[in-house]
Amino acid sequence: MLRFLRKRLIASAIAMLLVTLVVFVLARIQGDPRALYIDENMSQEMYEALGRELGLDRPLYYQYWVFVSQIATGDLGVSIHQHRPVADIVLERLPATLKLATAGFIFSIVIGVPLGILSAVRRGSAWDFAGRTFAVLGHSLPSFWVAIMAIFIFSVQLRWLPAFGDGGLDHYILPAVALGWAAAGGQMRLMRSAMLETLDSQYVVLARAKGVSQRGVIFKHALRNALLAPLTFAGLTLGSLITGAIIVETVFAWPGLGLLAINAVVASDYAILQGVMIVITFFYIATSLLVDVVYAWVDPRIRYE
């Protein structure tokens, strides 16, 4: 198990390093970063001094080393317009995004997994048709459209739920549904396929022949063996919900990293934008690593591959 964990940690570190390289290259190919600081009062001497302060007079490999070293110590730079450390700004917005992503994740699990099990057990019934229809809609309807329609119906027309902002539990319902809709559809399809494959396996047929009850067959024999693929998808879903929160946060004016990134793009504050990208990537890679560990714990055969 330790060998397996060590391999996954090394792979995660390499992935994170590659992401920092991509962010560094993209920040450099867009032009001279000093252009964002230029005003009518800046002289040539001030321009060159700014280049030395930003390390632009050094070779690119040295600039990248400084960039990675700062990230490793939690230094994500300074906001161009707010003149505050990017790490402080990101940490202020991070809890709102994590809460929204968690709410969307809970919605996808609570709706997708039971619906997938029910659809597989009641194969060919109205429940199966309803579940498959839900899954198709989940993959077909983009999150921003779901968000806008949810606001129009439940906030504007019915006036049941608030349309924007972070507040009580009622503020989480519409954003969580809009964010977790596609994930719930994917979870349902995967759970249904895994359950159908397991229910048709030989050991389940043998369990039924021995007189095991339907409930025992489903929850004791079939469900645990069918959970491996949905478990992987669930972990990756949590990471993707953090990244996918950008659109939903914009629609609902949710004060998280997504709205922060959009505002940074509008204001050309590349320091905040690259800070948000790095933090989101870190959470995605960390979630993937956690999924690998849990997967190996559920199925010990994985660690030997």
Do residues 145 and 68 both lie within one domain? no
Does residue 80 sit within a domain? no
112 closest CA partner among 193, 194, 191, 198:
191
Q: How confident is the model at residue 278 (pLDDT cuts 50, 70, 90)?
A: confident
Q: How confident is the model at residue 223 (pLDDT cuts 50, 70, 90)?
A: low
Q: Which pLDDT tens digit goes with each residue over 2-47?
A: 776 777 788 888 888 888 888 878 776 666 666 656 666 666 666 6
pLDDT for res 71:
83
Does residue 224 sit within a domain? yes
Please give the residue range of the domain that contains residue 15.
Answer: 2-72
Do residues 54 and 126 both lie within one domain? no
Do residues 158 and 292 both lie within one domain? yes
pLDDT for res 42:
63
Q: Report the C-alpha gap between 30 and 50 in whole angstroms.
A: 18
Do residues 250 and 159 both lie within one domain? yes
Q: What is the mean pLDDT of the chain?
A: 77
List the CATH number of the domain containing 136: 1.10.3720.10
Domain's final residue, options 17, 49, 72: 72
Does residue 90 sit within a domain? yes
Do residues 11 and 108 both lie within one domain? no
Does residue 203 sit within a domain? yes
Average pLDDT over residues 247-251: 82
Do residues 97 and 58 both lie within one domain? no
Do the beta carbons of residue 243 and residue 98 sit within 8 Å? Answer: no
- Is residue 59 predicted with pLDDT exceeding 80? no
Do the beta carbons of residue 116 and residue 131 sit within 8 Å? Answer: yes
**How many domains does the chain divide into?**
2
Q: What's this model's pTM, rounded to 2 decimal places?
A: 0.74
3-state secondary structure 133-176: HHHHHHHHCCHHHHHHHHHHHHHHHCCCCCCCCCCCCHHHHHHH
Average pLDDT over residues 213-236: 69
Do residues 51 and 105 both lie within one domain? no
96 to 86, 92, 158, 181, 269: CA distances (angstroms):
16, 8, 26, 19, 21
Do residues 115 and 239 both lie within one domain? yes
pLDDT for res 296:
64
3-state secondary structure the chain: CHHHHHHHHHHHHHHHHHHHHHHHHHHHHCCCHHHHCCCCCCCHHHHHHHHHHCCCCCCHHHHHHHHHHHHHCCCCCECCCCCCEHHHHHHHHHHHHHHHHHHHHHHHHHHHHHHHHHHHHCCCCHHHHHHHHHHHHHHHCCHHHHHHHHHHHHHHHCCCCCCCCCCCCHHHHHHHHHHHHHHHHHHHHHHHHHHHHHHCCHHHHHHHHCCCCHHHHHHHHHHHHHCHHHHHHHHHHHHHHHHHHHHHHHHCCCCCHHHHHHHHHHHCCHHHHHHHHHHHHHHHHHHHHHHHHHHHHHCHHHHHC
Highest mean predicted confidence (pLDDT) among 64-68, 174-178, 283-287 = 174-178
pLDDT for res 304:
47
Average pLDDT over residues 229-248: 74
Do residues 94 and 6 both lie within one domain? no
Does residue 77 sit within a domain? no
Do residues 64 and 99 both lie within one domain? no
pLDDT for res 14:
87
Q: Which pLDDT tens digit goes with each residue over 104-129?
A: 888 888 888 888 888 887 887 888 88
Domain's final residue, options 39, 72, 105: 72
Do residues 53 and 191 both lie within one domain? no
Do residues 43 and 117 both lie within one domain? no
Domain's final residue, options 37, 72, 107: 72
